[in-house]
Amino acid sequence: MPSTPSHQARARRIDRLMAFTISGGGLLIIGAVLAMLLFILKESVPLFIPPQSRVVGTLPAPRAGGAWVDESGKAVVLMSRAGGLSALRMPQGTPLPVPAEGPALPWRTFTALNARGEALVIGADGRLFLTRLTWAKPAGENDPAQWTLEPRWQGGLRLNQVPDEILHFRLLEGGGLGGGASIRIVARTGEGLLWTDTALDPAVPAAWNAVPTDPSVHPTAAAWSLDGADLFVGTREGHLLDLDPETGDLRSSAEFAEPISTLGFVLGQSSLLAGGAQGKLAAFQRVRVNGTFQLQAFHGFPRLEGPVLGFQASQRDKRFLAWTATEAVVDHLTTERRLFSARLDGPGMAALAPRGDLILHANEATGALSLWSLDAPHPEVSFGLLWSKTHYEGYEKPEYVWQSTGGTDDFEPKFSLVPLVFGTLKGTLYAMLFAFPLAVLGALYTSQFATPRLKNAIKPTIEIMAALPSVVLGFLAGLVLAPLLERMAVQVFVFPFVVLILAMLIAPLWSRLPQTFRNAFGSGREVLWMVPVLLAGIWLSSLAGPWFERVALGGSYRTWLQTAFGVTYDQRNSLVVGFAMGFAVIPIIFTISEDALSSVPKSLTSASLACGASPWQTAWRVVLPTASPGIFSATMVGLGRAIGETMIVLMATGNTPILDWSPFNGMRTLSANIAVEIPEAPLHGSLYRVLFLAAFLLFILTFILNTVAELVRQRLRRRYESI
């Protein structure tokens, strides 16, 4: 039927419509990918936004020697020798009611309120009291103006000697008032340090004990360890000592290089903060070295101006407040970041809200309260922590560690991405070592040597493998392959050698067979003759494996690995992941490689054969180089699949984020880590955003890999297009 103008116009309209549809679909796909990338970036960028602080204001207040901010940040409690306790509503500064009871005024000495609102007070009559501050809040009332401060006083011990200053105390055996709790106190007099352990029973007077110290040591600060068994002492000579309080024996020591003016703790009470008379700030911990505990300086912070007067820790994370007469700062222990810095108008007492979002300074001379707010939502994350070794609490040296959660609220998050990137590369490497040679050589044989009938059977069978869900492969690898490989590891190891020996023995026999038989059943069917060889290899390996383990490995390959190399065999290890992930990658590489090899023009192979080259020489030196761009593309596609694989790694390995190339250990990949951690990540929390950063990293890694692959493929294509 002849074409008419109307038919041509209709065809053009359909062509334009299809071109628009195809172009629009492509643009939508690109837009969707970019939108995902932008969303991931949006959730990751807040990790690196600098902390923000601002001046809230200055309020008139009674002169105070101590200050404490309530959990809500809406009330401040002040302590003074003359006036005792007073409370203010924040940020208005209006007074809040305070009960009149308490130690007799004026107080002779008192400690600063700790984060839980606890303090020791010695009244005018020389009696010792412990208080914990609580608030009486009417039901459903959130207005601090309606709250009533209710300090609970306990003790009233009459002291036979009133110290000049109480340096530190520690509640033990229950950690609260009553309930059999005891309290350890260390104080200072003109003669030295005193300590006592009392139950705060008024009927039993406190018995002070002198802390035996060397006459050349001049204590300036002291603090109890968490369990009260160790007494940390800072000296004028610049030494930090760990003493037995009863005998004065020196358990360990560390150099501070300047007189120590104050000691404190961060959240968890395991990291000891030391402040110097010249503004030095450092953190110490007790670590076990060669079977004994030693003091170790493991974090340092920028120096302050003048003597450090005190510390106060946040109750939410590892940030802490330190101050001098002219400066107040908030630093983070793990990252060593300075989150806040402000100038002060004179000496006084500073306080940090339990949430770490409010800083207060009470001027000792004027009584004025200066307030600052601090917005630092992710202080535990920094670029250095993500990519560099970090010295964590309880570790002898800096390490790359991923551990996002712990068993207690004072846990120190560890967000190093290095073990996850390492695990991703390690899992991909073992998968490709298994999949690449099998897939490419199998594709080469199928495309160049197999008979058409055998090829039509092999290729669809391998392509069907791509339809196996990853969760099924992971399930089989974790529950079937891993125990089987553990039980028959030696047999698996000797299997390739046994098959190689069998092939070398059988190959000469093939040449002795009649030519007619070899032509009829040999060419293009070699893979069928390998089946009985492989079966025989499996049978012989099952016999040779136990003998080899008994003779060469001392009867147990696991013991031999541990003794000879210090390697522990984990049941779910990198070999299991390599086998399982390899089965997922083989169909992709095989299919694309086979198509590339089959697309090589027959004229090239015919010319090579006509020049006298053997079929294997032709395949290796002509077909394989010509198809190399396609094979490289297939390899990169398989590599991308292996990098992004989640379920197989999640189910087939121990999921341990360690840095070890051993094939007998597990690992944790970026994708598996996201799958494991995201259900437990609080919305917009640090873990949540770090996981999005890991997703962005995985996205960029795949993008770079695909870009490099395309550049190499184009170069190979230009190199061989003239053949």
What value does the mean pLDDT take over residues 633-652?
86
User: Which pair of structure tokens corresponds to residue 228?
Assistant: 């009260």
**Cα distance between residue 549 and residue 551, in whole Å:** 6
Sheet strand arrangement including 319-323: 310-313, 319-323, 327-332, 338-343
Q: What is the DSSP string of 314-363?
A: -SSSSEEEEE-SSEEEEEETTT--EEEEEE-SSSEEEEE-TTS-EEEEEE
Band the pLDDT of 338: cuts 50, 70, 90. Answer: very high
What value does the mean pLDDT take over residues 497-521?
75
Q: What is the pLDDT of residue 276?
A: 95
Coil, helix or strand for 463?
helix
Which residues are CB-neighbours of 681 under 8 A, at least 6 positions away? 404, 687, 688, 691
Q: If DSSP states are collapsed to H, E and C, what string results for 526-563?
A: HHHHHHHHHHHHHHHHHHHHHHHHHHHCCCCHHHHHHH
**Cα distance between residue 147 and residue 75, in whole Å:** 9
Residue 84 has pLDDT above 90, yes or no: no
Residue 241 has pLDDT above 90, yes or no: yes
Band the pLDDT of 632: cuts 50, 70, 90. Answer: confident
Cis peptide bond prior to 144, omega within 30° of 0: no
Q: What is the pLDDT of residue 339?
A: 95
* Of 59-63, 489-493, 514-518, 641-645, the least confident: 514-518
**Cα distance between residue 272 and residue 277, in whole Å:** 17
CA angle at 203 for the pair 201 and 209, rounded to the nearest 5°: 70
Q: What b/e readout covers 222-259, taking b as 16+ CB neighbours within 10 angstroms?
A: bbbbeebebbbbbbeebbbbbbebeebeebbebebebb
Residue 177 has pLDDT above 50, yes or no: no
154: enclosing H helix or E strand: strand 148-158
Under 8 Å between Cβ of 209 and 195: yes
Q: Which residue has the higher pLDDT, 523 or 619?
A: 619
Sheet strand arrangement including 239-243: 219-224, 231-235, 239-243, 250-255
Residue 173 has pLDDT above 90, yes or no: no
What value does the mean pLDDT take over residues 74-78?
85
Under 8 Å between Cβ of 120 and 185: yes
Band the pLDDT of 567: cuts 50, 70, 90. Answer: confident
Q: Which residue has the higher pLDDT, 709 or 79?
A: 79
Cis peptide bond prior to 91, omega within 30° of 0: yes
Residue 232 has pLDDT above 80, yes or no: yes
Band the pLDDT of 39: cuts 50, 70, 90. Answer: very high
Closest by CA position to 201, among listed 129, 150, 131, 133: 129
Under 8 Å between Cβ of 204 and 241: no
User: What proportion of the chain, given as a percentage, has pLDDT over 90?
Assistant: 27
DSSP, res 175: S
Under 8 Å between Cβ of 385 and 276: no
**Cα distance between residue 626 and residue 624, in whole Å:** 5
Residue 201 has pLDDT above 80, yes or no: no
What value does the mean pLDDT take over residues 434-453?
88
User: Which pair of structure tokens corresponds to residue 211?
Assistant: 């802390």
Residue 175 has pLDDT above 50, yes or no: no
What value does the mean pLDDT take over residues 297-317?
92
Q: What is the pLDDT of residue 620?
A: 87
How, if at all, do strands 338-343 and 369-375 pair?
A: unpaired
* Of 117-121, 226-230, 239-243, 708-712, the least confident: 708-712
* Of 66-70, 281-285, 442-446, the least confident: 66-70
Band the pLDDT of 3: cuts 50, 70, 90. Answer: low
Q: What is the pLDDT of residue 519?
A: 64
**Cα distance between residue 569 and residue 390, in whole Å:** 28
Strand partners, 338: 331
User: Which pair of structure tokens corresponds to residue 463?
Assistant: 């392509």
**Cα distance between residue 111 and residue 164, in whole Å:** 12
Which residues are CB-neighbours of 286 under 8 A, at least 6 positions away? 225, 230, 242, 252, 270, 293, 294, 295, 296
* Of 143-147, 175-179, 433-437, 462-466, the least confident: 175-179
Q: Which residue has the higher pLDDT, 236 or 93?
A: 236
**Cα distance between residue 84 and residue 66, in whole Å:** 10
Span 22-34, pLDDT tens digits = 888 888 988 888 8
Give residue 540's Cα distance to chain centre. 46
Q: What is the pLDDT of residue 311?
A: 93
Q: What is the pLDDT of residue 176?
A: 46
Mean pLDDT comparison of 49-58, 88-97, 598-607, highest-scoring range = 49-58
Give residue 708's Cα distance to chain centre. 30
**Cα distance between residue 403 and residue 405, in whole Å:** 6
User: Which pair of structure tokens corresponds to residue 579?
Assistant: 């086998």
Token pair 């395309």 is found at 710
Q: What is the pLDDT of residue 720?
A: 63
User: Which pair of structure tokens corresponds to residue 39?
Assistant: 């969303």
**Cα distance between residue 539 and residue 402, in whole Å:** 44
What value does the mean pLDDT take over residues 163-190?
77
Q: Please report, for the chain, how many H helices and E strands are present, in that order.
A: 18, 30
Under 8 Å between Cβ of 76 and 360: yes
**Cα distance between residue 117 and residue 332, in whole Å:** 22
Q: What is the pLDDT of residue 76?
A: 87
Q: Which residue has the higher pLDDT, 722 or 434?
A: 434
Q: What is the pLDDT of residue 419?
A: 93
Residue 178 has pLDDT above 60, yes or no: no
Q: What is the pLDDT of residue 144?
A: 62
Amino acid letter for position 567:
V
Average pLDDT taken over every residue of the chain: 86
Q: What is the DSSP string of 658-680?
A: -----TTS----HHHHHHHHGGG
* Of 65-79, 106-120, 255-269, the least confident: 65-79
**Cα distance between residue 616 and residue 449, in whole Å:** 9
Coil, helix or strand for 390?
strand
Closest by CA position to 62, among listed 47, 49, 81, 75: 81
**Cα distance between residue 356 and residue 372, in whole Å:** 11
Token pair 């069998």 is found at 502
Strand partners, 274: 263, 282
Residue 171 has pLDDT above 70, yes or no: yes
Rg (CA), the chain: 37
Closest by CA position to 170, among listed 227, 126, 117, 123: 227
Which residues are CB-neighbours of 568 under 8 A, at least 6 positions away? 561, 562, 664, 665
What value does the mean pLDDT take over residues 590-597?
90
Region for residue 238 given its phi and psi (left: phi exceeds 0; alpha: psi -120 to 50; beta: otherwise)? left
Span 514-552, pLDDT tens digits = 777 666 666 666 677 778 888 888 888 888 888 888 888
Amino acid letter for position 558:
R
**Cα distance between residue 430 and residue 528, in whole Å:** 28
Which residues are CB-neighbours of 465 under 8 A, at least 6 positions away? 583, 586, 587
Amino acid letter for position 268:
G
Give residue 20's Cα distance to chain centre. 47
Cβ count within 10 A of residue 552 = 11
**Cα distance between residue 589 and residue 698, in whole Å:** 21
Band the pLDDT of 89: cuts 50, 70, 90. Answer: confident
What value does the mean pLDDT take over residues 449-462?
85
Q: Which residue has the higher pLDDT, 104 or 711?
A: 104
Q: What is the pLDDT of residue 565?
A: 83
Under 8 Å between Cβ of 310 and 168: no
Amino acid letter for position 332:
H
